[in-house]
Amino acid sequence: MKDYSEFEEASPFGPSNNSGVYGVFITTKIKTRCVYIGSSQNIQKRVNRDQHLYRKIYDKFSNYETHVYTRQIICNDYSLKEKELIRKYKPLLNKMRYGA
């Protein structure tokens, strides 16, 4: 099982409005999986857009057995950190395909 502890949990009021990296996670009874990693100057603004991947995943998969949520890392060098984390965790839905 992968350790995602470097990501901070978002507030109960949603993601931070600071710059940084965020991960979209899906948790089931069996495991937790990071399915997408992104970065933004304003995480909250990015994730809360209706057309954002997080919203689509949440609407499709979130139910009583599956929990869809974001976690974050607040940082200024978010582009570099995003690439590093994509290489490390290899999330399914990243278009960058693991730093290639």
CB neighbourhood size of 25 (10 A): 20
How many residues does the structure list for the chain? 100
Q: What's the confidence (pLDDT) of residue 100?
A: 47
Q: What's the confidence (pLDDT) of residue 74?
A: 95
30 vs 45: CA distance, rounded Å: 31
Q: How far is CA 74 from CA 2, 16, 57, in A?
A: 21, 8, 23
CB-facing half-sphere around the CA of 60: CA atoms within 13 A: 8
Q: What's the confidence (pLDDT) of residue 97?
A: 58
CATH code that applies to domain 8-89: 3.40.1440
What is this structure's pTM?
A: 0.87
H helix runs in 1-100, sequence order: 43-47, 53-61, 78-89
Q: What is the pLDDT of residues 12-70, one digit of tens each?
A: 778 889 999 999 999 998 999 999 999 999 999 999 898 998 989 989 888 878 999 99
Where are the domains positioned within the chain? 8-89
Q: Which amino acid is at 19?
A: S
Q: What's the confidence (pLDDT) of residue 98?
A: 52
